[in-house]
C-alpha cells in the first residue's frame, strides 16, 4: 500500500490568520495520525508564513508515524533538520517568495550541491528525497546525487487529468520505471486529490508515498478530515 503523508501547512496558515493557537497544529497532527495517516509533512519557509520553525520542534516528539520536512536547503533549514532528525527530508528548490512549490531540481546543474547536502543528511541517519520533474535525464541525475528517493512533482499531471487527458500520466510512469531500475524510491506530491489519486497510484509502479495537503484540507471542509483521510487510504490500497 502507498503511504499517505498529510501536509499540515494549511492548518498553520489558518492558525496564523488570527494570531492565536486555534486550530492547534500539534493536536491536529495527533488526530490525523489517529484517523489513519501514515505520515506528517511540513514545509517551513524562511518567512514562516505558515509553518514556523518552532512548530518543527514542537511536532518532533508527538509524530509517531513518518515525519517529513520539506524545504530549500539553505543553511538555516539544514541546521534545523540536522537538529530535529526527522524520518525524511525532502529537498525542494523553492524561491523565498514562491507561493508554493513550482518546479523540481535541475539535478544535473546542481549535482555537486545536492551531493554535499544529501551526504550530510544521510550521515545523520535521515532519509533523503528530492523534488523532481518527470524528465528522464533528471531521474538519472537524481541517482547520481546519492538520494534515497525522488518526489515526482505532479502539478502538470493533475492539471491535464482534470481536463480529461489521461495520457498526462505517461511521463510519470516512464520515470517511475526508470527510478525503480536505478534503485530509487518513489514519492509524489502536488495537486493530488480524491479525484485523481487512484488513477495516479494505479499507473505508478511501486509508489511508496504521497504527500497531500491543499486538496485534502479543502476536501475536508465539506466531508470532514477523518472521512477524507479514510477515502484517500481506500484509494491508495
> Of the listed 43, 50, 151, 219, which one is catalytic?
43
Contact status, residue 168 vs residue 196, Cβ threshold 8 Å: no
What are the backbone angles phi and psi of residue 132, rounded to the nearest 5°?
A: -140, 150
From 70, 151, 209, 219, the catalytic residue: 70
Q: What are the residue ranges of helices labelled H in the chain?
A: 9-18, 25-34, 53-59, 75-84, 111-123, 136-145, 155-162, 170-182, 197-202, 214-223, 225-236
> Which of the residues 33, 151, 190, 219 is marked catalytic?
190
Q: How many CB atoms lie within 10 A of CB 218?
A: 13
Q: Is 166 known to be catalytic?
A: no
Which position has the grid cell 526527522?
86
70 classed as catalytic:
yes
How many C-beta atoms lie closer than 10 Å to residue 138's C-beta?
A: 19
The DSSP line for 117-136 is HHHHHHHTT-EEEEEE-S-H
Q: Tell which residue, 112, 111, 90, 110, has the closest CA to residue 101.
A: 90
- 43 noted as active-site residue: yes
Could you give the residue numbers annotated as active site? 43, 70, 190
Amino acid at each position: 500500500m502507498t503511504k499517505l503523508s498529510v501536509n499540515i501547512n494549511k492548518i498553520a496558515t489558518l492558525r496564523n490568520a488570527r494570531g492565536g493557537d486555534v486550530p492547534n497544529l500539534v493536536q491536529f497532527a495527533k488526530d490525523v495520525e489517529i484517523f489513519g495517516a501514515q505520515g506528517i509533512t511540513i514545509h517551513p519557509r524562511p518567512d514562516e508564513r505558515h509553518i514556523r520553525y518552532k512548530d518543527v520542534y514542537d511536532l518532533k516528539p508527538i509524530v509517531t508515524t513518518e515525519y517529513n520536512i520539506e524545504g530549500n536547503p539553505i543553511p538555516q533549514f539544514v541546521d534545523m533538520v540536522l537538529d530535529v532528525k526527522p524520518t525524511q527530508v525532502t529537498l525542494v528548490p523553492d524561491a523565498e517568495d514562491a507561493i508554493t512549490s513550482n518546479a523540481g531540481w535541475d539535478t544535473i546543474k546542481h549535482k555537486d550541491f545536492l551531493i554535499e547536502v544529501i551526504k550530510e543528511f544521510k550521515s545523520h541517519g535521515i532519509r533523503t528525497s528530492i523534488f523532481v520533474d518527470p524528465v528522464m535525464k533528471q531521474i538519472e541525475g537524481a541517482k547520481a546525487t546519492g538520494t534515497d528517493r525522488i518526489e515526482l512533482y505532479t502539478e502538470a499531471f493533475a492539471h491535464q487529468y482534470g481536463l480529461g487527458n489521461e495520457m498526462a500520466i505517461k511521463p510519470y510512469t516512464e520515470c517511475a520505471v526508470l527510478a525503480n531500475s536505478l534503485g530509487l524510491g518513489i514519492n509524489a506530491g502536488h495537486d493530488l486529490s480524491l479525484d485523481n489519486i487512484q488513477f495516479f497510484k494505479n499507473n505508478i509502479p511501486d509508489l511508496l508515498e504521497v504527500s497531500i495537503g491543499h486538496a485534502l484540507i479543502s476536501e475536508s471542509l465539506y466531508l470532514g478530515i477523518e472521512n477524507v483521510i479514510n477515502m484517500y487510504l481506500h484509494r491508495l490500497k
